[in-house]
Structure 1
C-alpha cells in the first residue's frame, strides 16, 4: 500500500526557504494550491488514510448487453470528516475516478448530488459528510457474451477535518451478464434512489435572471407556482473564482420573484459572463430541493429571466 499524506492547512505566511530538505527528514514543507485563488502551506506526514471507506457498488444485480446501468462510488466518512464536491470552494479537491473497463464499455461522468457548505474561519468549502453515493452511468456494448465482467476504478479523494489526508483506493466490481431483465440490488437500489433525489433537477417551470452590480451579483428566480413556500436558499457555483464562498447570501422576496444576493470573489473575472451552478432551496417543511442554474448576467436595463418573464419587481423584504 502506498503511503498516505496528512495535510494540515494554514493561511500562507512568508515565502519558504529555497533549501532542499535532507533525504532523512520525516516531515517536509511545501507550497501547493488546493484550489485556485487560495495558496496554502501544507505539512506532509506519512500515515494511512482511515477516515473514509470507499466501495464500488451497482444498482443492479446483473447486466444485459446494450442496456446502460448505474454503478457508484460510495464513500462513508468518519464523524467530523468530509470529502468534496466537484467545485470544492475555497480549499479541497474533488473526488476523481479513473476507470479500467472491459472492451467497448463506456463510463459517463460522475453525477454530483448537491453539497453542503463547511466553514472554518475565513475558509468555506463544499462537500459531503457522513456518506455519499456518486453515481456513474456505464454503457455496455450491444453484443456481450454470458458470464461475468469486472469493472475496476481507482478512486482519489481528499478527506478533511482540521487536517486533510489524500485518500486512494483500487476498487473492483464483478457483475454477471444475463439475457433476462436485470433485477435491482436490494442492498443498493435504495441508496441510488436517494442519490437521485439529491441530484439537481432541470429547471422546468423555473425562471432565472442575474444582474451584476459594483459589489454584488443578484440571482433572481421565480419557482413554479406549485412550489411549496421557500424558507432559505443557497447558490453553489460550478466553477471557482465566481463568488465569495464565505459571504452571506441574503434572500429577499419581491412581488413576482425571489432575489439571492451574492458577493463576487475578490479575484473574479469581471464582468462575470454568467452564473452556472446549483440552487438549493429549503422548504418550510425542512425538505431541500436542488435545481440547475444557467443564467446570463446582464445590466439592469437588459435583465430578462431565463425561462420567460420580464425583469423582476423591486425587493420587498429579506428572509
Structure 2
C-alpha cells in the first residue's frame, strides 16, 4: 500500500526507525493507532534489540518438564517509569500484547491468561492496560512421549509501550528446559507465579449481575445485587469491557438505591453490535466479597 493512498489523519504521523518513538500531529490520529498498526508493515515487523519503555523475558515455572504433564510459562513485562502496555481490550486506543509460539512437534500452547487491567492514559485518552509489572501466563502441554533430553521453546512477542509517545516492540525469545521422568517446579519461581495467578480474575461470587438497558442502547446499565452476607459493598467501582462494548474515554458512574448498585457507562461507537451479554472485569478499591479479591470476572446478560 502506498503511503499517499492512506487517509489524511493516518498520514499525520512521523515514524522513526523500527522501535523508535511514534509522534502524532493531530488528536484524531491518537484514536487511529490500531488502524495505523494494521496498515503499516514497518511497525508490524519492527523488532527492537533494546525495547523502549519495557523489559521483556520468557520464564518457566518448571525447571524440568515431563511427557504429557502440563506446565506454565510466562511473558514477564517490567514497565519503566510512566510507561504502560495494553490489556486484551485496550479501549479507545492501543494494541494488546501478543505471543506467537514456535513449539516443538506435539507441544501445544494455551491462550494468554490475562491479569486484571488498570486504567491508564495514552496522551489525553483513557485506556486499559498495565503500568505495574505483570506476568502473562500461558499453559504448555507436552505430547505423550518426548525423545529429546532437552526441549527448546521459541516465541515472538509484540507489544505497544506508551508514555509521552508510543513505541512498538517485537522480540524473539528462547527458553530451553530439560526433560525428566517427572516434572519439577523451580522453587525460585513459585512466589512470582503464585502472585501472577492471584491477579487473574475469577468469576464473581455472592452477587447477581444483569444488564438492565436494551441491546445496543447508548447508555449501558449493569446492575449488581448482593445475594449473601459475603457480598461486600464496592468502593470506587469500575467495569473493564473485554469485548469493547463500553467506551474507555467516557466516565462511568455508580448509582445506589435500596441496596442495589448500577454501573452506568457509555457504549463505544466502535464496539460490537447486537450483543446480549457484557463480558469483562469488575474492579473495586475494596474487596468485592469477604476475604476476596478487588476484581472479578462477570458476564451479565441483557434482561
TM-score category by the smaller chain? 0.7 to 0.9
1:233-244 equivalences under 5 Å are 233-240=237-244, 242-244=245-247
Q: Where in structure 1 do 4 or more consecutive aligned residues deviate above 4 Å?
A: 44-48, 267-272
Partner of 1:248: 251
1:132-147 equivalences under 5 Å are 132-145=134-147, 147=149
Distance change (3 Å), C-alpha of 1:248 and 1:235: same
Q: How big is the shift at 1:171?
A: 0.4
Partner of 2:236: 232
CA contact (8 A) 2:152 2:177 kept: yes
Partner of 1:177: 179
- 1:58-115 per-residue CA deviation (whole Å, 9 max, x = no partner) reads 1111111101110010011111111110011111100011101111000001110011
Partner of 2:22: 7
Partner of 2:60: 58
Secondary structure in 1 matching 2:63: coil
**Residue ranges of structure 1 left out of the alignment (5+ in a row):** 14-29, 298-302, 304-319
Distance change (3 Å), C-alpha of 1:72 and 1:270: closer
Distance (Å, rounded) in 1 between the aligned partners of 2:185 and 2:192: 11
Partner of 2:86: 84
1:295 to 2:300 alignment:
yes
Partner of 2:197: 196
Distance change (3 Å), C-alpha of 1:189 and 1:9: farther
Distance change (3 Å), C-alpha of 1:296 and 1:178: same
TM-score normalised by L of structure 1: 0.77
1:68 to 2:95 alignment:
no
Bigger fraction of residues in helix = 2
**Residue ranges of structure 2 left out of the alignment (5+ in a row):** 1-16
Secondary structure in 2 matching 1:155: strand
Q: How big is the shift at 1:253?
A: 2.6
Bigger fraction of residues in strand = 1
1:218 to 2:221 alignment:
yes
CA contact (8 A) 1:87 1:94 kept: yes
**Which has the larger Rg?**
1
CA contact (8 A) 1:212 1:271 kept: no
TM-score normalised by L of structure 2: 0.80
